[in-house]
């Protein structure tokens, strides 16, 4: 089993912009950048005086319309005024109540609260006493309890993964963070994008990672490590191969020290390595260096290097 690496982008499961819904002065800033907040917690307070006055005014209009409606109803019950006048009074009361509801909504908009648990992002030049316009960005809020990690997979590898598998049977993946350390939890591939990118031939996968420690943040990058079970495959250093007419070859050295070119079939490509499924066997000796100096079926002198030493050197090269 080997790991296929893919560059990835890490996103919060919820990441939104916190914006104003009313124009006014910032009366209170109740949180700080990077602070964890709970759903419903008050973040910012826009000065509510104008909206409070508007609410009181519309409440008074409701009270007046209600009194007028009750008086009209008593008169209508006594057949002093028509049912039409009663209907007009009722409509006036309904209108006043609607205007009160609207005023209360505007007043509530002066309180900017967290719609979910999350972490406050950077403030967008919002300070106590700042005049903000309707729709102005204040900050962001990220729910980092789970993270969505996106990575692009080439078409051929996508087909290899999904030919005999479904989303439910795809292997769990690891996340290598920017410091090269492996994240503590495995991720589950939950979605594959509907379309391929016509420009690069890739399709996006999305893996979900539980993030209880909160170490992962929105906007981070890393590498997804997709485990691949290479049955009957032989790993060959890429530098040991050469190409003729879009076909890959290696030099296999015989017992008589004769270097003979062999065409190989590659199933997977990894950093500095190819997984070969046809063309050579595990007991073959492969020429690693000096390929350009050798001709097919030429007798050569060589130094034998154990495979574990070559693998160690390639690992160090990849780490650099």
The residue ranges of every structural domain in the chain are 2-13+142-228, 26-140, 234-319
Q: Tell me: domain 2-13+142-228, CATH 3.30.200.20, correct?
A: no
* Rounded Cα distance, 111 and 114, in Å: 10
Q: What is the pLDDT along the chain (320 residues), one digit of tens a residue?
A: 678 889 999 999 999 999 999 999 999 999 999 999 999 999 999 999 999 999 999 999 999 999 999 998 888 888 887 889 889 999 999 999 999 999 999 999 999 999 999 999 999 988 898 899 999 999 999 999 999 999 999 998 888 888 777 788 888 999 999 999 999 999 999 999 999 998 898 999 999 999 999 999 999 999 999 987 777 778 888 888 999 888 999 889 988 888 889 999 887 777 788 888 888 888 888 888 888 888 888 888 888 877 667 766 655 444 33
Query: Hey, what CATH topology would domain 234-319 get?
Result: 2.40.420
**What DSSP character marks residue 156?**
H
Pairing type for strands 298-299 and 247-253 reads: unpaired
Distance of alpha carbon 192 from alpha carbon 13, whole angstroms: 16
Q: How many degrees, rounded to 5, is the angle at CA 135 between CA 129 and CA 141?
A: 85
Q: What is the CATH number of domain 26-140?
A: 1.10.287.470
- Cross-strand partners of 244: 247
């Amino acid at each position: 089993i080997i790991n296929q690496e893919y560059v990835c982008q890490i996103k919060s499961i919820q990441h939104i912009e916190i914006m104003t819904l009313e124009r006014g002065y910032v009366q209170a800033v109740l949180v700080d950048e990077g602070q964890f907040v709970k759903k419903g917690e008050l973040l910012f307070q826009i000065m509510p005086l104008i909206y409070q006055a508007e609410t009181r005014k519309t409440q008074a209009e409701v009270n007046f319309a209600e009194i007028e409606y009750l008086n009209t109803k008593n008169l209508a019950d006594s057949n002093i005024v028509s049912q039409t006048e009663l209907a007009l009074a009722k409509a006036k009361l309904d209108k006043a109540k609607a205007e009160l509801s609207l005023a209360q909504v505007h007043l509530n908009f002066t309180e900017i609260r967290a719609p979910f648990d999350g972490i406050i992002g950077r403030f967008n030049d919002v300070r106590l006493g700042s005049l903000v316009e309707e729709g102005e960005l204040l900050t962001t809020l990220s729910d980092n309890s789970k993270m969505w990690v996106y990575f692009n997979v080439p078409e051929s590898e996508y087909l290899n993964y999904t030919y005999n598998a479904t989303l439910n049977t795809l292997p769990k993946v690891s996340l290598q963070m920017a410091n090269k350390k492996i994240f503590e939890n495995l991720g589950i591939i939950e979605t594959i994008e509907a379309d391929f990118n016509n420009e690069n031939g890739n399709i996006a996968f999305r893996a979900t990672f539980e993030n209880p420690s909160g170490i992962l943040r929105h906007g981070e990058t890393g590498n997804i490590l997709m485990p691949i079970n290479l049955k009957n495959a032989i790993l060959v250093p890429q530098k040991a191969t050469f190409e003729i007419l879009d076909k890959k070859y290696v030099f296999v050295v015989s017992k008589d020290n004769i270097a003979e070119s062999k065409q190989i079939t590659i199933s997977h490509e990894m950093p500095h390595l190819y997984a070969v499924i046809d063309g050579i066997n595990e007991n073959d000796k492969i020429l690693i260096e000096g390929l350009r100096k050798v001709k097919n079926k030429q007798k050569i002198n060589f130094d034998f290097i154990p495979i574990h030493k070559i693998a160690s050197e390639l690992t160090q090269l990849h780490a650099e």
